[in-house]
């Protein structure tokens, strides 16, 4: 049920009046920005300035009412921002600031004149790729073409970027509030002072609602939303809509069968956690399509195997992820529909293993099953071992455990733990459940604990880091009840591990397309509830969402287990990152 938009607009006004402070300096005393969208299309944005709150609000309200009437907007998504800080600098210095910032991570808006007649918030700039110089440019760049396109739409009188390096501009930090159809007002925090640089840092929750503590209920909502988004990407033929570039509403024109298989697995994990009935049929359709990518093969020894063929390649990781997805379906439903192909995929995985060393070949030629690449990416190894172990758990056939163990023994010799890969963490945890060999526990510890500083300080959301941590957390929890493992646990900085684990889970919230963020992109409804990769132009791709889902599902299960050692902290700002 949608609450009356007029009432919700007044709630936002009341909230702003209680929190909006007068700007210091020569800028307008009050600068307010209102954004409105119904969901199918990008938000319309208006702003107004004045010497008092009322003088800024009244013309803004009048313009907003006129806009909503002309466009026939019901106001499903309403957002009010106000400028909290404006930092003057030259156009040249502004571009130097961009040049020192990772692509997608410039967290300010911009005003181009002292009266703020031309003002764009951070959300507007990001959603229209105004600070994005292209896929080959790793740092932020002002994009004059994207600016001009949006400025013609946003400003009735038009706007031009500065033509001189000495032209003054203002960096803009905002705070705000969002009110959706249910009438609840969400606080959108403002800037926080960075003590080290003295500059304004946008903080952990810049641009979206502040979550002070992750709870099982909130996680269930996030997982449910992302699961439903992933289910909506499954077409009638079982293929996925592979991904979106949301700034301009473009679909990603590519496909990768390994990522199809991984996304099937992620969809099943979401279904297992939420019980959402709407996920079952899309999951089954995508699994059946996955089966069509497989090809049977009779080996020189006379046995039969199957491989997932992607174009002209057979990837170890594709076989593994398909096997994992089929195993998960059987585990959740009891159905044997994919039992036969699972057996053949396991045989195909075994075919790619060197019987002497246990090492896997990573890529075969799809035409004749000959070796194409001995090694491509290390996560294929962890995927293969994890899949064989899950298949062993399901079938009880000791052959699969023996093959997995032989491969893992090769990891010990090759120092695989230095890769700090999440699939290696999954496989170490799974293997130690069946074979409590202290060498395998030590591997799992080294794979994770040598990476904690990276986990704590990585600027990108990097969702596989939470998967890495969660698999290690399961292993460490079991080890705590094993006297024979006490010597491995001695000396480990468990406080740092817990801080890294919880911090990374909180940090993933910065990759969620909350409604107050999604509303600024070309087609908000197409991305709502999904997760994005900021430095890839806010790309939303099925496998990215799968990684977010799997990490958050594992974290939610941990919280639901109620072990006080792993309870979520009250405030993510309390993490000690020193």
If asked whether residues 445 and 346 sit together in one domain, one would say yes
DSSP character string of 195-258 = TTTSSEE--TTTTS---SS--HHHHHHHHHHHHHHHHHTB-TTS-B--EEETTTTEEP----HH
**Distances 3 to 11, 180, 398 between C-alpha atoms, Å:** 12, 9, 60
DSSP for 373-413 reads ES-S-THHHHHHHHHHHHHHHHH--HHHHHHHHHHHHHHHH
Any domain includes 313: yes
Residue where one domain finishes, among candidates 201, 230, 265: 201
Same domain, 273 and 153: no
Residue for token pair 């733990």: 417
Residues 429 and 524 in one domain: yes
The answer for residues whose C-beta is within 8 angstroms of residue 481's C-beta and 6 or more apart is none
Per the document, the length of the chain is 578
At residue 310, φ and ψ (nearest 5 deg) are -120, 100
Measure the CA–CA gap between 126 and 517, rounded to whole angstroms: 10
Backbone angles phi, psi at 128, to 5 degrees: -115, 15
Q: Determine the pLDDT at residue 200.
A: 39
pLDDT at 204: 58
- 409 and 301 in a common domain: yes
The rounded distance, in Å, linking the Cα atoms of 50 and 59 is: 9
Sign of CA dihedral 450, 545, 575, 274: negative
Would you say 56 and 1 are in contact if contact means Cβ atoms under 8 Å apart? no
268 contacts: CB under 8 Å, gap ≥ 6: 283, 325, 328, 329, 332
156 and 292 together in one domain: no
Q: Torsion-angle region of residue 79: left (phi > 0), alpha (psi -120 to 50) or beta? A: beta
Do β-strands 119-120 and 185-188 pair in parallel, antiparallel, or remain unpaired? Answer: unpaired
Residues 68 and 196 occupy one common structural domain:
yes
464: CATH: 1.50.10.10
**pLDDT (0 to 100) of residue 491:** 92
Q: Which domain holds residue 220?
A: 216-574
Residue 335 included in any domain = yes
For 110, the 3-state DSSP assignment is strand
Q: Which strand (E) or helix (H) includes residue 47?
A: strand 44-50
Task: For tokens 């039969």, name the residue.
Answer: 304
* Domain shared by 129 and 260, yes or no: no
Q: Is residue 208 part of a domain?
A: no
Q: Let me know whether 117 and 257 are in one domain.
A: no
Are residues 380 and 274 part of one domain?
Answer: yes
Question: Do the domain assignments include residue 359?
Answer: yes
pLDDT of residue 191: 61
Quote the number of domains for the chain: 2
Averaged in consecutive runs of 10 residues, what is the pLDDT profile of the chain (578 residues)?
89 96 90 98 98 97 97 97 95 97 94 97 97 95 97 92 96 95 90 40 69 94 98 98 98 97 98 98 98 92 92 96 98 98 97 96 94 95 98 98 97 90 97 98 96 94 97 98 97 96 94 97 98 97 98 98 93 54
Q: Are residues 172 and 280 in the same domain?
A: no
Residue 209 within a domain? no
Q: Tell whether 329 is covered by a domain.
A: yes
- What is the per-residue pLDDT for 207? 84
pTM (predicted TM-score): 0.95
* Euclidean distance between CA atoms 332 and 313, whole angstroms: 30
Helix, strand or coil, per DSSP, at residue 231 = helix
Q: Where is 448: in which H helix or E strand?
A: helix 438-449
How many other CB atoms are there within 10 angstroms of residue 367's CB atom?
A: 10
Burial string for 490-522 (b: 16+ CB within 10 Å, else e) reads: eeeeeebbbbbbbbbbbbbbbbbbbbbbbbbbb
Tell me the two tokens of residue 465: 């880091």
Last residue of a domain, one of 143, 166, 201: 201
Residue the block writes with tokens 């032209």: 167
- Out of 176, 201, 226, a domain closes at 201
426 and 542 inside one domain: yes
Do 91 and 161 belong together in one domain?
yes
Q: Does the residue 527 lie in any domain? A: yes
Domain contains 210: no
């Amino acid at each position: 049920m949608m609450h009356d938009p007029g009432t919700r607009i007044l709630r936002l006004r009341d909230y702003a009046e209680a929190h909006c402070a007068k700007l210091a300096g020569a800028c307008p005393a009050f600068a307010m920005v209102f954004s409105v969208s119904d969901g199918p299309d990008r938000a319309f944005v208006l702003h107004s300035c004045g010497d008092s709150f009322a003088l800024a609000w009244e013309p803004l309200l009048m313009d907003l009412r006129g806009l909503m009437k002309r466009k026939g907007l019901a106001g499903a998504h309403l957002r009010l921002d106000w400028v909290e800080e404006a930092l003057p600098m030259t156009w040249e210095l502004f571009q130097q600031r961009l040049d020192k910032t990772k692509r997608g991570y410039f967290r300010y808006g911009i005003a181009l004149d002292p009266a703020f007649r031309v003002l764009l918030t951070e959300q507007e700039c990001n959603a229209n790729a105004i600070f994005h110089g292209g896929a080959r440019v790793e740092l932020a760049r002002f994009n004059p073409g994207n600016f001009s396109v949006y400025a013609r739409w946003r400003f009735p009188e038009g706007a031009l970027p500065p033509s001189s390096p000495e032209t003054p501009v203002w960096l803009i930090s905002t705070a705000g509030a969002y009110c959706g159809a249910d009438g609840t007002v969400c606080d959108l925090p403002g800037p926080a002072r960075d003590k080290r640089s003295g500059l304004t840092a946008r903080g952990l929750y810049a641009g979206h609602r502040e979550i002070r503590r992750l709870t099982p209920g909130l996680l269930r909502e996030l997982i449910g939303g992302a699961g439903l988004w992933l289910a909506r990407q499954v077409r009638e033929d079982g293929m996925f809509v592979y991904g979106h570039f949301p700034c301009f509403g473009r679909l990603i024109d590519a496909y990768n069968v390994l990522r199809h298989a991984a996304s099937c697995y992620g969809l099943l994990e979401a279904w297992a956690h939420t019980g959402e009935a709407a996920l079952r049929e899309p999951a089954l359709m995508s699994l059946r399509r996955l089966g069509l990518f497989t090809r049977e093969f009779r080996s020189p020894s006379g046995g039969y195997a199957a491989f997932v063929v992607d174009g002209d390649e057979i990837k170890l990781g594709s076989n593994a992820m398909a096997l994992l997805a089929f195993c998960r379906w059987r585990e959740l439903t009891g159905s044997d529909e994919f039992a036969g192909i699972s057996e053949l995929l396991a045989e195909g995985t075994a075919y790619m293993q060197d019987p002497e060393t246990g090492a896997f070949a990573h890529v075969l030629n799809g035409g004749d099953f000959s070796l194409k690449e001995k090694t491509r990416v290390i996560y294929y190894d962890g995927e293969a071992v994890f899949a064989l172990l899950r298949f062993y758990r399901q079938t009880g056939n000791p052959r699969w455990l023996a093959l997995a163990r032989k491969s893992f023994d090769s990891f010990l010799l090759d120092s695989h733990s230095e890769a700090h890969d999440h699939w290696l963490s999954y496989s170490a945890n799974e293997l130690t459940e069946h074979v409590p060999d202290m060498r395998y526990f030590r591997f799992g510890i080294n794979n994770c604990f040598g990476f904690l500083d990276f986990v704590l300080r990585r600027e990108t959301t990097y969702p596989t880091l939470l998967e890495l941590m969660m698999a290690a957390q399961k292993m460490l929890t079991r080890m705590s009840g094993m006297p024979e493992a006490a010597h491995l646990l001695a000396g480990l900085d468990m406080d740092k591990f817990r801080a890294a684990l919880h911090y990374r889970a909180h940090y993933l919230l910065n990759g969620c397309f909350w409604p107050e963020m999604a509303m600024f992109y070309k087609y908000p409804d197409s991305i709502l509830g999904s997760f994005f990769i900021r430095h890839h132009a806010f790309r939303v791709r099925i496998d990215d969402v799968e990684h977010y889902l799997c990490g958050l599902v594992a974290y939610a299960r941990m919280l639901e287990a109620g072990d006080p050692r792993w309870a979520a902290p009250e405030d993510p700002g309390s993490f000690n990152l020193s």
